[in-house]
Structure 1
Amino acid sequence: MSSVATYYNGKSVLITGATGFVGKVLLEKLLRSSQDVKAVYILVRPKAGQSMQNRVEDMVKYKLFDKVREECPNFHEKIKPISAELTHPNLAISPKDTAELLSEVNIIFHCAATVRFDEPLKHALLLNVRGTQQLLMLAHQMENLEAFIHISTAFANCNRKYTEEIIYPPPIEPRKLFDLVEWMDESLIEEITPKLIGDWPNTYTFTKALAEYLLQQEKGNIHVAIIRPSIVGASWNEPFPGWIDNINHFNGFLIAAGKGIIRTIKCNLEAVADIVPVDVAINLTLAAGWHTAVNRPKSMLIYNCTTGGINPFHWGEMESIVLSTYKKIPLEKAFRIPKGNMTSSNLAHQYSTIVSHMAPAFLYDLYLRLTGKKPRMMKLLNRLHKSMAAFEYFASCTWEWSSDNMNVLLNQLNPKDKKLFCFDVRQLHWSEYMENYCLGTKKYLLKEDMAGIPAAKQHLRKLRNIQYALNTIFLVIIWRIFIARSQMAQNIWYFVVNLCYKFLSYFRASSTLRH
């Protein structure tokens, strides 16, 4: 039997961030693997124009929940939404809901966070650090709490090239920073943010490091574990290969490459692309929850959930896989044929950005204006370039993370759990995974019908013909402007044409003789 799945049966679980990418996968796997779980409380932020109940009803209709729906049609009855706001005092949870959580909850999975790299420091601090503190204060009052599992990031200490499974003290105490941003004007906070975050690349990684330190300082007698996944990508196997539902950063780049919108990405080709499938991170999280609750370790355990040190995959290996996949299974209504390169040269990248991005986008927007439509391509490209600039830091460096705790936990699982809650990335085949990843962007993100592939291929053929026609026109213009007016250019041109003709004649004669 599965020790991990059995543990969660009969338990009441609280999940924050359950409407986000990682939180949804955690919710689905928990409900599918432990169908006798007593209740799953999810904190849901109020949203204008949509009730909390409607948000949850819409969420459980996703294809993500198809498997658990087949096995347990009434699974949604186990989900208990609680209205909450992490940035507010006491999480803005009603007294009635608070009383229920305090008496019922056995284990907490804290997944909620802002993952925007350019989030203003004050808001990132309130959500990622103060929100964690507020949740921890609630956890201290829970009568039957057995474990508190916090989802952090492997890049919380990206200012270090080697990260062990320990907490590193930040340059400033979280409480002092709370006091600072409370009275300071937001424009002034923005001005001093670079000095405050120091050698962290953005407010996201900085505040995640602060949250880890705060947990260590204020956990008291609560049994806490921290999961640090690297770049969380599409699912490897569960519930479906390639499942993805957000367009953040890397996923957006894949779609833009598949649509032919972007053709150059700046990165270090030799650097490790430390992508971890979302189901790997979730399986480790659930296993760590079981281990923390059952074994009650004396010290807080941290699990670096990464792939680079175990099964490395480099950015330079990605280009051919992605482009060949999108040519075999093209996205609908592509802007151009998927083509391009990943380069570490700043000069080559800037040149390609102007020639392959900005110029075609400008001409397309000009065409839209002339036809009475609203221009949109330059605006889209500017957003992509901003996102690519923020992501460049993570695609240009290689980090090393120790993974001792993850390996120890894997060895403690019985054979059934190793299969049901697999997080052994040594078995991951990157080419197959990336193909499924690209396919997932088509099926799950863009929701394109696979029956439309022949039409999408036909569209690519039309784009190819248009490209040939434009190249021909360009050559004619070059001829008229430069070659036709220069005797030397004409002589060179005739020499090249004559040489090509002789080569063709030679090969034709050789072929005739062989036959």
Structure 2
Amino acid sequence: MGVLNILKFAMKCIKLKILLHVSTAYVCGEGKGLVLEKEFYPGETLKETSSKLDFEVEKKLVAEKLQKLRVQGVSEEDIATNMRDLGIERAKVFGWPNTYVFTKAMGEMCVGQYRDNLATAIIRPTMITGTYNEPFPGWIEGLRTIDSVVVGHGKGKITCFLANPSCIMDIIPADMVINAMTVAMVAHANLTSSINNIFHVGFSLRNPITFSMVHQFSYQHFTKNPLIKHGKPIKISKCTILANMPTFRIYVLIRFLLPLKILQVLSIAFPWYFRDLFVNSKRKFNLVMRLVELYRPYVLFKGIFDDINSERLREKVRKSCNMEVDLFNFDPKCIDWEDYLINSHFPGVKKFVIK
């Protein structure tokens, strides 16, 4: 694993003061209630299984599967699909919803098991968004976290979505994550202990924002500042938000699948008139379903991230001079979500990401 290689390299650096490992707050899986900043012990799983989680075993399974596919002469595209399916399958065996958080959890276990006397800190950011201040408000590279849904809404491609409207969307600007990382490194350099220093960097506890609020602000922004297509502004409407999977499936069947079947038949009978309509409708449907599957663990999430360790870091900054407070700010209470999303983040996504 990459983490193990980094650890081996770090231990050879005799003047190294601290190793900072960036994970994610969602290593907790589909948790509920207050999620603590606690360490994963080697072999820990999120549900009862017949065996403990061993990342060496998982690494071997991946290597064997990959070799088997290549011996069979499978195309690179099919190899990617098969390996992705294997990752999701293994993640769910141990209680994680997807490969991303599964591998992040194994990375943390690797740090805990092999760090020896090396000073370490683990940063667990939530959903990272565009910058709050540095290098300037709204800067971002690529679509991040909620932005695929926001952009799909702004382009008029997403008219319904699976989400709990009251679900807390724990988002945090990228520069605040960097500030937290910097302070954590300074505060814990050369300090070794029997446990890792773990920090949730998110706002769900002290300044929460719900999915319905994000949707409302997105609607406000793209109504007043619409995206342009073929020289004309794209008109959008509010999404239909469905709070559970059974209801969502019934809605999709009635709203999308049945009309798609009819369009498919018509496109065969009258291709010159219905084919483009069918193709565009199918593309929109596939986009919605792909995003629903990707975001389901987060838009139905029922947990709130405790951040007592991060609050202690903020307290250290507050006790320093005023200039440092401004330079290394990651205080959740300073953000006005409506102002930040409408005037910084959404414009940043349009300027730096949407082509």
Distance 1:218 1:345, change over 3 A: closer
Give the alignment's TM-score, normalised by structure 1: 0.56
Q: Which residue does the alignment assign to 1:150?
A: 21
1:163 to 26, 35, 50: 35
Q: Which residue does the alignment assign to 1:182?
A: 63
Distance 1:368 1:209, change over 3 A: farther
Distance 1:361 1:272, change over 3 A: farther
Please list the CA deviations of residues 95-148 of structure 1 after superposition, one character each: whole Å capped at 9, or x if unmatched.
xxxxxxxxxxxxxxxxxxxxxxxxxxxxxxxxxxx0111111111112321111
**407-416 or 438-447, which deviates more:** 438-447
Q: Which residue does the alignment assign to 1:453?
A: none
**Do the aligned residues in 2 keep the contact of 1:284 with 1:423 (CA within 8 Å)?**
yes
Structure 1: which amino acid aligns with 2:63?
A: E
| Structure 2 residue 354 is matched with structure 1 residue 443 | no
Q: Aligned-pair distance for 1:385? A: 1.6
The count of residues paired between Structure 1 and Structure 2 equals 317
Q: Secondary structure of the residue that 1:399 maps to in structure 2?
A: strand
| Structure 2 residue 338 is matched with structure 1 residue 431 | yes
Q: Which residue does the alignment assign to 2:293?
A: 389
Please list the CA deviations of residues 164-217 of structure 1 after superposition, one character each: whole Å capped at 9, or x if unmatched.
222123231222333343335466995696356421101111111111011011
**Greater relative contact order, per chain length (Cα 8 Å cut-off, separation 6+):** 2
Q: Which residue does the alignment assign to 1:84?
A: none
| Structure 2 residue 191 is matched with structure 1 residue 296 | yes
Q: Which residue does the alignment assign to 2:49?
A: none
**Do the aligned residues in 1 keep the contact of 2:155 with 2:236 (CA within 8 Å)?**
yes
Whole-angstrom distance in 1 between the partners of 2:23 and 2:173:
15
User: Is the radius of gyration larger for structure 1 or structure 2?
Assistant: 1
Please list the CA deviations of residues 321-356 of structure 1 after superposition, one character each: whole Å capped at 9, or x if unmatched.
211110111111166534323231546644654676
Q: Which residue does the alignment assign to 1:140?
A: 11
Distance 1:372 1:393, change over 3 A: closer
Distance 1:339 1:165, change over 3 A: closer
Q: Secondary structure of the residue that 2:339 maps to in structure 1?
A: helix
Note the residue ranges of structure 2 that are not aligned, 5 or more in a row: 45-51, 70-81
Alpha-carbon RMSD across the aligned residues, in angstroms, is: 3.2
Q: Aligned-pair distance for 1:264? A: 0.9
Structure 1: which amino acid aligns with 2:39?
A: I
Distance 1:352 1:322, change over 3 A: farther
Whole-angstrom distance in 2 between the partners of 1:345 and 1:175:
37
Whole-angstrom distance in 2 between the partners of 1:140 and 1:247:
35
Aligned-residue identity in percent: 23
Q: Which residue does the alignment assign to 1:63?
A: none
Whole-angstrom distance in 1 between the partners of 2:334 and 2:271:
48
| Structure 2 residue 137 is matched with structure 1 residue 241 | yes
Whole-angstrom distance in 2 between the partners of 1:189 and 1:350:
24
Where does 1:67-106 land on structure 2 (aligned, <5 Å)? none
**Do the aligned residues in 2 keep the contact of 1:232 with 1:278 (CA within 8 Å)?**
yes
Distance 1:337 1:297, change over 3 A: same
Structure 1: which amino acid aligns with 2:161?
A: I
Structure 2: which amino acid aligns with 1:212?
A: E
Higher percent of residues as helix:
1
Distance 1:398 1:200, change over 3 A: same
Distance 1:424 1:251, change over 3 A: same
Please list the CA deviations of residues 295-338 of structure 1 after superposition, one character each: whole Å capped at 9, or x if unmatched.
62434211011211111111122222211110111111166534
Distance 1:352 1:431, change over 3 A: farther
Distance 1:190 1:313, change over 3 A: closer
Give the alignment's TM-score, normalised by structure 2: 0.78
Whole-angstrom distance in 1 between the partners of 2:179 and 2:87:
40
Please list the CA deviations of residues 222-280 of structure 1 after superposition, one character each: whole Å capped at 9, or x if unmatched.
21111001111222222222222222552111111011111111111122111111111
Where does 1:187-202 land on structure 2 (aligned, <5 Å)? 190=85, 194=89, 197-202=93-98
Whole-angstrom distance in 1 between the partners of 2:260 and 2:280:
12
Note the residue ranges of structure 1 that are not aligned, 5 or more in a row: 1-129, 448-515
Whole-angstrom distance in 2 between the partners of 1:379 and 1:318:
24
Q: Which residue does the alignment assign to 2:326?
A: 419
Distance 1:356 1:416, change over 3 A: farther
Whole-angstrom distance in 2 between the partners of 1:205 and 1:236:
26
Structure 1: which amino acid aligns with 2:120?
A: V
Q: Which residue does the alignment assign to 1:280?
A: 176
